[in-house]
Structure 1
Amino acid sequence: MSRSLFVTGTDTGVGKTLVAAALIHQYAAAGLRVSGMKPVASGAFHDGQRWCNEDVQALMAAANTHPPQEWVNPYLLLRATAPHIAAAEQGVCIDLDHLAYCHTQLRGQCDMVVVEGAGGFMVPLDAHHNSDDLVLQLGLPVVLVVGVRLGCINHALLTQAAIAARGLQLLGWVANEIDPTEACRDAMIASLEARLHAPLLARLPWSTDINAAAVRFTQLPLLG
């Protein structure tokens, strides 16, 4: 049976794509057929032939399967802002049922699908739905990426509470040291280990050029 999980973050820019791509690499190394999925991507550039998104490209490059890009990234929005704002600007309606259809197609071709969210866990997708509504509709367990910087403890605990409030499972979390000047990173991570009700899957030290394929996890979620 195919499996899926959802990668979310305490905020935007905390390393969700890095962690999602690293999970894809590790599942592939374990012998699974793996695809990434970025249901909604905000921020695009034109490569001379088509509009592209760096996160989507990273997920597809890490995968060992080659599904249609329109399944991997059903909605590509041009402006790098909250999805509901970018979508409204383009006159696009983000349809959760269509996202669920694309996810089902990916699961039909793969053993594992790593779904990466946009922004934080409750970022709006339209006037009535947030990202957590999508996760609930797909029924996915969650991996949380914590950007280790001032304020991250509060953000992580609020995200954990939001995940629990939707009846979803927090599989584990990753500490990504995104602020090289943060002197209290060890104390912050220790505080989170004591308060987050899921295992620390990896601690990623500050780096200007970290390679997703080189990331190692203490355990791979869903593999038992």
Structure 2
Amino acid sequence: MSKNLFITGTGTDVGKTFVSALIVKKLSEKAKSGYFKAAMSGNERAENGSLIPGDAKFVKERAKIAQSLESMCPYVYENAYSPHLASRIEGNPVNFEVVKKNFLSLQDEFDFLTVEGSGGILCPIDFDKSGSRKAIFLEDVISSLNLDSVIVADAGLGTINSLVLTVRYMESKNLGIKGMIFNHFHPGNIMEEDNIFMCEKLTGLKTLACVKDGDQNLEIDFETLSGLYK
């Protein structure tokens, strides 16, 4: 039975997939490490017309794992919108029971399963305007699958506000947070170093790692990283 961890972020394009790939890669050095994402939008089509789950492909190739792309994400959309809007346009809205079934099917295959969210913590996964279906948000996925989270944030300007607001919202929903990872970090940059200091002071959370552009490995030891999973 796998131990699991959710990777959320302060917003879109902060580097959740890049960090997730480094995490999966680090764990795969000593254990069976897998990846899962409930819904993935903004994907390109293969020559045969099928959608390629881009984030899953990136993680698979960067982490060098054998897991099939099909098992990584049950809902794949072409439009680069929030999944709730992409599915409204393209059809095939997210059914949480399908997400849960796919997630559970991986439990016996891996020692550690890294689950990545879409966008920021408030990103809707499914939202029916008519109200005939109950809306699904990332917090529903986290709670229902009994996951704790790590928050990925950009180290640069604006991160104090976005990080602290993300933490406050997650705390209001009783979502467990294991720590923070800062992406696009430049060692010696006084603003970025102060951003990290302030985020720690305002939230009481620990910085687990700082990731630089182009990093090939996550600067965190296996024992500390694996200890975040439950």
* Structure 1 position 184, deviation (Å): 1.7
**What is the aligned partner in structure 2 of residue 64 from structure 1?**
65
Q: 1:63 to 1:133 in 2, by over 3 A?
A: farther
Of 216, 220, 225, which aligns to 1:220?
225
**What is the aligned partner in structure 2 of residue 200 from structure 1?**
207
**Deviations for 1:15-52, whole angstroms, at most 9, x for unmatched residues?**
101111111011111x2111111211111112323321
Q: Is the 8 A contact 1:171 1:221 kept in 2?
A: no
Q: 1:91 to 1:178 in 2, by over 3 A?
A: farther
Percent of paired sites with the same residue: 26
* Structure 1 position 13, deviation (Å): 0.3
Q: Is the 8 A contact 1:177 1:185 kept in 2?
A: no
* Structure 1 position 125, deviation (Å): 1.1
SS in 2 for 1:184: helix
Q: Which amino acid aligns with 1:215?
A: L
Distance 1:26 1:185 in 2: 25
Q: 1:165 to 1:71 in 2, by over 3 A?
A: farther
Distance 1:15 1:204 in 2: 10
* Structure 1 position 126, deviation (Å): 1.4
**What is the aligned partner in structure 2 of residue 41 from structure 1?**
40
**What is the aligned partner in structure 2 of residue 13 from structure 1?**
13
Q: 1:37 to 1:71 in 2, by over 3 A?
A: same
Q: Is the 8 A contact 2:178 2:228 kept in 1?
A: no
Q: Which amino acid aligns with 1:175?
A: F
TM-score (norm 2): 0.86
* Structure 1 position 150, deviation (Å): 2.5
Of 124, 131, 144, which aligns to 2:151?
144
Q: Which runs of 5+ in 1 are unaligned?
A: none
Matched, 1:73 2:73: yes
Q: How many residues align?
A: 217
Q: Is the 8 A contact 1:43 1:81 kept in 2?
A: yes
Q: Is the 8 A contact 2:182 2:210 kept in 1?
A: yes
Q: Which runs of 5+ in 2 are unaligned?
A: 128-134
Q: 1:156 to 1:63 in 2, by over 3 A?
A: same
Q: Is the 8 A contact 2:185 2:192 kept in 1?
A: no
Q: Is the 8 A contact 2:196 2:207 kept in 1?
A: no
**What is the aligned partner in structure 1 of residue 130 from structure 2?**
none
Q: Is the 8 A contact 1:34 1:63 kept in 2?
A: no
**What is the aligned partner in structure 1 of residue 106 from structure 2?**
106
**What is the aligned partner in structure 1 of residue 131 from structure 2?**
none
SS in 2 for 1:20: helix
Distance 1:7 1:111 in 2: 17
Output the aligned Cα RMSD: 2.1
TM-score (norm 1): 0.89
**What is the aligned partner in structure 2 of residue 133 from structure 1?**
140
Moved over 3 A (4+): none
Q: Is the 8 A contact 1:177 1:204 kept in 2?
A: yes
**What is the aligned partner in structure 2 of residue 186 from structure 1?**
193
Distance 1:63 1:74 in 2: 21
Q: Is the 8 A contact 1:14 1:178 kept in 2?
A: no
Matched, 1:52 2:52: yes
Spell out the pairing of 1:111-126 with structure 2 (5 A cutoff): 111-126=111-126
* Structure 1 position 215, deviation (Å): 2.3
